[in-house]
Structure 1
């Protein structure tokens, strides 16, 4: 590990502390982390398997859900194993290249999931407002193109972060008080001017997550406008019911993130371990709960899961 802080030599190895201030409780904290990861891995893998193997589910809504489940697997796997290694074995050392790779994967996957949620909102809009043209508008070809565009947007937007971090000299410290590497947290321990990193990070936030929230809001305003103009109350109820799962996932995805950002911006009196725990909730909750929400709320998926797990039951 490089230690010559005052000679301009840059650190190449860093140490993640886990949950600072709660080191003695790391073993207990690892239990919900491990449980959440297992549920996320099994739930999303099962969801992907069912959707890909059942031709009856090869419709736009479930194909987008399959993409979301795949992103959840990547999201949880990019952070939780590292956290468990810290909790169980105190293995917090990570190289600069691995740290930057984690930043890239974590940030781009968040943006990818955000994009999928926007497309799922558009999917609900088309299904409710143009039900007869639903499969015609959202053809398999268009779904494939949408998936490619979302992928290119997420990874293309975050790619410059690699260069912005690689150019920095880390001669202040090699300690990161977290369970995973984050862009600005890593930049702050460098000796260089990080104004470009801060401004580009803000640009990425505004051009992806904030824009996506606005697009989802507009989509649901259009959906509500169409639903409340339906002549039948039963039709209104059925249409809104198809959106419940998606709305729950949206709240679950954006809610903890917005709360975490607000606490970091205004909650200066809040302890550091609270900030770190909130950030981990943002990483753990959506991958774990998304398949549960869709499994419970979607009868077709629930029936297929039940028959897959209990094939002899009628």
Structure 2
């Protein structure tokens, strides 16, 4: 908004659409000139909408954009001029009939140990050093928690390890492991029917719905925030742990089993909703968790919270086994440029 306000104060604003180069789309009638990449991208978006239409069986036409189209741009703060000002201006010049509806989701710069990422200075994190089948979603969770949405934020490997060890392993998987053990031990790996409900049980069931609705808002166009979704997920799991810790299951199993059934049934529902709502943020973990709960799929979004039916198979053994061992590095190699591999010839290398 500040950029837009300052540019409006100018008496005149001219932007060249072509420039001298031998790489790019040639500008007709201007030998040695190519179309500047940013206007090219503006029309590339419309072409991609038309391409998507072919896949969906729709009649969207890049040459005739419609007022019912909703375009959503995700970009870094340094590209604000192009997305928020140049594109609408170019569209207005070409399509007099079209008033583009565009939403903008902008993020600030992400730093590494307080400084800009720089491969030339060997100041970078190499994906292959921290990403693996077991860690890719932990990295996604951590990046979500530290995403620079409204201000610059900072990445460190130590903070990533804390997210994995203290949050994902120490809280998330620990809660799921205890829930899996109780369901398997007392109910043969199937969801029990609820028994007696206490006020705390009703409050927790309402909290599950609050989480579902909150995640829906965080993913929506109006309230989009990956960071809010990540924080919301962490807060929800902590609430599940607090709810569980309020009952001594060793005693409850013997003295008031009806309450125990309710508590465990509600926690299985919470685990199912967690799988649903984490699919956009942590797809591999969400899918693995969902496969352990019969009838749960991450392909659809839950419009409300419904308790899992009694007798539903609940087996989290595979997800717990898969994520049992960390793969995040415990040294600094992720900061360093990979060393060239030696050339191997027979039994000799150099």
The TM-score, its normalising length taken from structure 2, stands at: 0.26
| Bigger relative contact order (CA 8 A; separation at least 6) | 1
Which structure has the highest strand share of the two?
A: 2
Which structure has the highest helix share of the two?
A: 1
The TM-score, its normalising length taken from structure 1, stands at: 0.29
Specify the structure having the higher radius of gyration (Cα): 2
